[in-house]
């Protein structure tokens, strides 16, 4: 057993002649918060989509917890212990906050949820899970509110909360602070570093202060490939990273 929970090998995705992802060897160590950053068009989102199964890579492989899931569809990855959140908030807007979380907990059951002959409230474990997550993300007071009526910041928190319901080993967070106001960002920062104690977290993020304060490991991507990898301090001082962010026109 090695201590990498997720490993990609030569992962690439081409659209015709354009390589959105060149050849990426990403290794995520168990129990860490691993952030992927990079300027626009660096391939962060493409990499993320390959990991979640939304896109099938054109080359390379993805190994998660010892299993190869390069070609597994998104819904099957949940049962293996992988869970994701969305950059653009994607909730069940007309359902209550608790029901959003309960459904997310039920999702881990996969096809067992096809059962139509007994009441969903008989499945106490899903309700308990929902209530437990409500506590963790501090939304208990809003449990019966429609998800669509929450503030944007609260919706972002629920977004992350839903990805917790399936008891994932690895959490994939796609720009968790996307669109959040400056006042709400500390809430998300606290939440993610709290999650990092129990799960392995891989996230894509633009907010540098958040990235530098919570990450154990940072991967900087540039033009579809990994440019630099290291701890926050290493990455902060790296000349290549500065150059990638400022653009190469100045050199």
What does the binding site for another protein look like in residue numbers (CB under 8 A)? 52, 73-76, 78-79, 83-84, 86, 90-96, 98-99, 102-104, 106-121, 123, 144, 162-163, 165-166
**CA distance linking residue 210 with residue 215, whole number of Å:** 8
Sign (positive or negative) of CA dihedral 135, 127, 31, 45: negative
User: Which of these, 164, 175, 173, lies nearest to 202 by C-alpha position?
Assistant: 173
- Rounded to 10 deg, the angle between the 152-164 and 124-136 helix axes is 130
DSSP-derived 3-state class of residue 130: helix
Minimum distance, C-beta of residue 144 to another protein, in the bound complex (Å) = 8
**Shortest Å, Cβ 130 to another protein:** 11
The residue (of 6 and 211) whose beta carbon lies closer to another protein is 6
What residues does 201 pair with on adjacent strands?
Answer: 33, 171
* Nearest-approach distance from CB 56 to another protein, in angstroms: 15
Distance CA 239, CA 135 (A): 43
**Smaller CB distance to another protein: residue 51 or 227?**
51
| Strands 33-37, 217-222: pairing kind | parallel
CB of 99 to another protein, least distance (A): 5
Asked whether 175 and 206 are in contact (CB, 8 A), the reply is yes
Nearer to another protein, 66 or 110 (CB): 110
Whose Cβ is closer to another protein: residue 108's or residue 222's? Answer: 108
Looking at the Cβ atoms of 11 and 164, the one nearer to another protein is 164
CA dist 160 and 140 (Å) reads 15
Cβ at position 157, least distance to another protein in Å:
16
Q: Which is nearer to another protein, 39 or 107 (CB)?
A: 107
Q: Quote the least distance from Cβ 77 to another protein, whole Å.
A: 8
Could you give the CA distance from residue 33 to residue 17 in angstroms, rounded to a whole number? 34
Residue spans of alpha helices (H) in 87-184:
97-107, 124-136, 152-164
């Amino acid at each position: 057993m090695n201590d990498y929970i997720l490993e990609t090998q030569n992962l690439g995705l081409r659209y015709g002649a354009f390589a959105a992802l060149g050849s990426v060897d990403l290794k995520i160590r168990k129990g860490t918060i691993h952030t992927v950053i990079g300027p626009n068009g660096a391939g962060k989102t493409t990499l993320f989509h390959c990991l979640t199964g939304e896109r099938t890579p054109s080359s390379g492989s993805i190994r998660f917890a010892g299993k190869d899931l390069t070609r597994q569809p998104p819904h099957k990855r949940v049962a293996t212990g992988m869970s994701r959140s969305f950059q653009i908030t994607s909730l069940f807007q007309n359902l209550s906050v608790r029901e959003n979380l309960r459904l997310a907990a039920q999702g881990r059951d996969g096809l067992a949820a096809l059962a139509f002959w007994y009441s969903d409230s008989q499945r106490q474990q899903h309700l308990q899970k929902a209530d437990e997550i409500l506590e963790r993300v501090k939304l208990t007071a809003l449990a019966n509110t429609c998800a669509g009526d929450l503030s944007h910041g609260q919706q972002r928190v629920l977004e992350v909360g839903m990805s917790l319901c399936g008891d994932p080993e690895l959490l994939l967070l796609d720009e968790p602070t996307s669109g959040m106001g400056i006042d709400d960002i500390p809430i998300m920062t606290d939440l993610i570093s709290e999650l990092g104690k129990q799960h392995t977290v891989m996230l894509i993020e633009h907010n540098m202060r958040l990235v530098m304060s919570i990450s154990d490991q940072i991967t900087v991507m540039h033009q579809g490939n990994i440019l630099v990898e290291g701890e926050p301090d290493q990455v902060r001082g790296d000349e290549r990273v500065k150059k990638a962010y400022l653009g190469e026109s100045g050199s």
